[in-house]
Structure 1
């Protein structure tokens, strides 16, 4: 086979293959075509030196808001991808059944980077979230649109990977957990997973977990008090352990109000690592405290999570969550996405949503990526 591109000399870390070695990765026709030493080069093969860098499967940010121009929260997906090394952004509920076709036509399909979406069960998605306006879209049950969600999910199966709902005092107000019940019915009918946002009670962390099914995702899982997953004594709540046992996935979704170092330390001390690390990047947190996926990954690296586990939580596991098994891996035949990162050492200031600062000694810095088999530096 003639390879279009070969990355040479990089340290390849691919948790999906238990691979951690200095080796070459080749791409052809938009897919991974070979992994190994001294891969054959033809006259038309492009060579990209990856020496001194770590090559991972293309990073997947499982929680983003990239409906740029369509919502006040949206950030430009390709600018974000190039800044952060994220090859796949999963938008989580920016659009609902009433406006998803515009999201697909004007953002998802023209983008160079990959975009998938959890479709909001609310008719217009997250429409009232800015520095000046904050209206929880789940506060008004008249906006719940399960029939529309099922219909639109069937119309856009290549884009939509699940149903999204937001519950909590800020998102659902007096409606409490009722929007979650509606969203679960829509997800069941459509045959796709659900991602549930949780903020301050009501409902409680335990109430939300009790309803989630295997393969569903709880985002903002390491949020601060109130509605943290740990007790004041620093132990993990029994409902959290029970939910993981039955297959519920725990996602970080850092954002502007949903990740605390205190919670993360307690969870990690109890041996409970997140299934997926995500940024919840949007217009109000892209300049801090979340910034991007690699910053969120760096925080976990500095908290003591192993590098391979941090990479797995940003590649292999999010790919499994969205049921795109040809992503999050560098196996031959998989889609041709890869990210080059470097681990900088020094003194780096990190901050969580409560204002707590952490001085870390490591930082994950993106260098470039391969997107659909082509180098994107």
Structure 2
């Protein structure tokens, strides 16, 4: 007998090519069956709803209490139907131990991390103080980052660096050299933040390796992936061809309707859709992962494409094949979603508001084979 059965939902699991209405059962923290008429100790009717593998938000900031930009991971997960938050560089080697002890180990959901090369991570990020941690090369702690990454392989899945006028200032692209060195030494992928130049979008892409992630990939001008004539920069095409991963990372300044429409119009879809949730965007314009997903529904992507970009593809980027799937024996995690009809204003980071006729909302979460949301 299963511990939990979700009955009658539309199961969308891109890892198996599954898209049908049926039941799914969980026992002992695992997926144990998919099919009709399943029995369990607890049965929840999810008719009319969508059941997916546990959503993975590949770009979040959840070092709550330890950094000024961190939000509460469990609160965010309940709101957005997320089972795995990937923190992208909130902590560096100087404060990762506190992040692990006080946040990661105490969270109900899974938290994985890209470790920042900056010793104190992203330490100067608020409404009143904005100091780019890459501006001072003295803070880039390569040896410390390698030591901390090697000591925490269960939760540190990559290395993070932030580049741009705000993040690295006059240091420009030089912090990327340090980050690439650390990534090479540890054998981990790199995630690179990009804001306004310098350096340019093209300069950064030319240095990235297969499996590295460029986040904020649909950002607006300046430093957009598109040119003024409406074409995609050739360096973007070349980077995808060699295996660079393009992540949305919506956040406060990194998603524009104009850029997204141009990219999608040329058939260039993001590999992963993520929120980049933090204190300065959780109340808008990003809000959460399901809102970001809703923007791509409005842009014409279908549900299986959007689900793949928030389950299967981020699991591959993380090199964690046990995640992002509802295959028998997979971790007992699922997200329950619904698509609502109506009129929903959705803004980008340039305050351009479009009205969507459909919106994705979170209806529930399964963790460790148990119903978790709402409490």
**2: CA distance, partners of 1:227 / 1:278:** 19
Cα displacement string for residues 8-48 of structure 1 (whole angstroms, at most 9, x for unaligned residues): 1100001111100011111111111111112244xxx2111
Please say if 1:196 is aligned against 2:192: yes
Please say if 1:352 is aligned against 2:348: yes
Q: Could you say what secondary structure the match of 1:126 adopts? A: coil
Q: Indicate if the aligned counterparts of 2:220 and 2:258 stay in contact, CA closer than 8 A.
A: yes
Tell me the matched-pair count: 373
| Match of residue 308, structure 2, among 309, 312, 324 | 312
Q: Could you say what secondary structure the match of 2:146 adopts? A: helix
**2: CA distance, partners of 1:35 / 1:185:** 45
1:212 CA drift (Å): 0.5
Q: Could you say what secondary structure the match of 1:289 adopts? A: coil
Please say if 1:145 is aligned against 2:144: no
Query: Where does residue 27 of structure 1 map in the other structure?
Result: 26
| Match of residue 213, structure 1, among 209, 214, 231 | 209
| Match of residue 268, structure 1, among 260, 264, 281 | 264
1:87 CA drift (Å): 0.8
1:352 CA drift (Å): 0.4
Cα displacement string for residues 132-169 of structure 1 (whole angstroms, at most 9, x for unaligned residues): 10000000000001111111011111110100000001
Query: Where does residue 168 of structure 1 map in the other structure?
Result: 164
Query: Where does residue 327 of structure 2 map in the other structure?
Result: 331
Please say if 1:236 is aligned against 2:232: yes
Q: Could you say what secondary structure the match of 1:116 adopts? A: strand
Please say if 1:12 is aligned against 2:8: no
**Moved runs in structure 1, 4+ residues, more than 3 A?**
none
Question: Over the residues paired in the alignment, what is the CA RMSD in angstroms?
Answer: 0.7
Query: Where does residue 154 of structure 2 map in the other structure?
Result: 158
TM-score (norm. length: structure 1): 0.98
1:357 CA drift (Å): 0.7
Gapped runs of 5+ residues in structure 1? none
Q: Could you say what secondary structure the match of 2:15 adopts? A: helix
Q: Could you say what secondary structure the match of 1:52 adopts? A: coil
| Match of residue 246, structure 1, among 242, 254, 257 | 242
TM-score (norm. length: structure 2): 0.99
Cα displacement string for residues 202-227 of structure 1 (whole angstroms, at most 9, x for unaligned residues): 10000000111000000000000000
**2: CA distance, partners of 1:150 / 1:92:** 16
**2: CA distance, partners of 1:259 / 1:34:** 39
Query: Where does residue 72 of structure 2 map in the other structure?
Result: 76
**2: CA distance, partners of 1:211 / 1:360:** 37
**1: CA distance, partners of 2:2 / 2:184:** 43
**2: CA distance, partners of 1:24 / 1:354:** 42
Please say if 1:97 is aligned against 2:88: no
Farther-moved stretch of structure 1 (24-33 vs 125-134): 24-33
| Match of residue 273, structure 2, among 273, 277, 286 | 277
